[in-house]
Amino acid sequence: MTTHRFTVNVPNPTTQRASVQLRLEPAKRQGFSWLPREFPKAGLKVIAAGLALDACAEEGNPTLKLKLEPFTSIDVHAVVNTAPSKKPGVAGFHLVDHRKGKDVGGVFLVCIDPPLDEPVSQTITTPNPCPATLARNLYLIQPGDDPSKVSRIKSVRPGDILDLVAQITNPTGKSLKNTQVYLEHLGVSNVEFTPSTWNIGTLGKGAVFYATWPIRITAWQTGSFEPSVVVLSQRTDPVRLNGKLSLAFRKELGAGSSSNH
């Protein structure tokens, strides 16, 4: 037998005393359709499932009634015992929070045996991608500088404002109509940027448009991060163009620097 334990907080964030009725409801099979593709197909045989206030409880009750004082909370423990399985299997329960005659919230609890390995990523393509690409990797310039001229920013400090440049080009033999481009994010960096969209319009074959977005360095940034630029054109699917940008300390100067990769 395998015991699956879950700890869930049950709060009362109001000014009134609250009566709470908790119950465990088995999840329906179709409720797992959105789970990872590696998700096991077989169901686990559930021997017992219950709720308890004791963290070490071996089993519990299907329902649990609580009284909560204003602005307090309590941890409850869901214990699910499943039979050994030769194949990987799954079982799921909704822990439903019922107050004042209606279901007001809940938590989805999933039991998997053996534990699920982290899946590897896959590339999800699209049938008709916008063919626009980056003509070169992303780079930074000083505000107001010509974005068609690649410059090397020597020193970056918190509070600096720079322009991120993405050279958008059309490598195909046909013009792209109604081309637009926007910056989706700057990866794991916490550099701030000003959201905006460029209406490029018709992007002729081989033409280059120099899209820019002001960014502000909010703290010392080290390492590289991967901004995501989205480009759209008529009768194609929008696509993400991923570039890489590095911000690194210059030890000899005690200041930061950026470089383009």
Partner 1 sequence: MSAKLRIQDGNPVWLSPSIVPSKDIVVSPNSSPSLATINVNSNDVFVYVKVENTGTLDLGGCTCTSTGAWAIPSLFQGFLANPTATASQTRDGATFSASANGDSLSGAGINFWFGLSASGRRAWAWSPDGRSFAYAASPNGPDWFLTIVSLQNITRSDGSTVLKGHVAATASGLFAGSNPIQYWTNANFGWAGSKAVVASGAYAGGPGWTVSLACPEAPSPNVWENLFPVFPGEVEWALLVSPCGSVVAFAPKRLNSSAPPQTFFMVSTATATETQFRKNNAPTSISSTGANVSMTTTAHTANGVTVNTGNGTTVTVDDPDCTLVGGGIIIRVDRVKASTLPSANLGVLPVGTAVLGILQVGKNSWVKVPNQSGWANQSEKHWCLLAQAYTVDGATIPRPWNGQAANPPPFPIINETCAQRNIEISP
Q: Which of residues 63-82 bind partner 1 (CB under 8 A)?
A: 73
Q: Would you call 233 exposed, middle or buried from its count of C-beta atoms within 10 A (0-12, 13-18, 19+)?
A: buried
Q: What is the spatial distance between Cα 25 and Cα 106, in angstroms, rounded to a whole number?
A: 10
* Nearest distance in Å: CB 80, partner 1: 14
CB of residue 114 to partner 1, shortest distance in Å:
13
For position 188 contacting partner 1 by CB under 8 A, the verdict is yes
Binding residue for partner 1 (CB under 8 A) from 209, 221, 243, 258?
Answer: 209
Residue 156 DSSP symbol: B
- Judged by CB under 8 A, the residue of 59, 94, 135, 260 near partner 1 is 94
97 touching partner 1, by CB under 8 A? yes
CB of 254 to partner 1, least distance (A): 26
Shortest distance (Å) from residue 214 CB to partner 1:
10
Which residue reads 């030890």 in tokens? 251
Pick from 93, 106, 101: nearest CA to 24: 93
Exposed e or buried b per residue across 173-202, where buried means at least 16 C-beta atoms within 10 angstroms of its C-beta = eeebeebbbbbeebbebebebeeeebebee
Contact between residue 229 and residue 211 where contact means Cβ atoms under 8 Å apart: yes
- Point out which span in 80-88, 134-142, 231-239, 252-260 binds partner 1 (CB under 8 A): 231-239
Binding positions for partner 1, 24-43, rule CB under 8 A: 31, 34-37
- Going from the C-alpha of 64 to that of each of 13, 43, 98, 116, the distances in angstroms are 19, 26, 10, 30
Amino acid sitting at position 69? E
Pairing assessment for the beta strands 133-134 and 176-185 based on DSSP bridges: unpaired
Residue 196 in contact with partner 1, rule: CB under 8 A? yes
* Number of neighbouring beta carbons within 10 Å of residue 20: 20
Task: Give the single-character DSSP code of 188.
Answer: T
What is the closest distance, in whole angstroms, from the C-beta atom of residue 22 to partner 1 in the complex?
7
Q: Closest separation between CB of residue 107 and partner 1, Å? A: 5
Residues 8-27 that bind partner 1 (CB under 8 A): 8-11, 13, 20, 22
20, 96 Cβ separation under 8 angstroms: no
Interface residue with partner 1 among 189, 221, 233, 258 (CB under 8 A) is 189
Could you say which residues in the range 107-146 bind partner 1, by CB under 8 A? 107-110, 115-126, 129, 146
Q: How far is the CB of 177 from partner 1 (least distance, A)?
A: 10
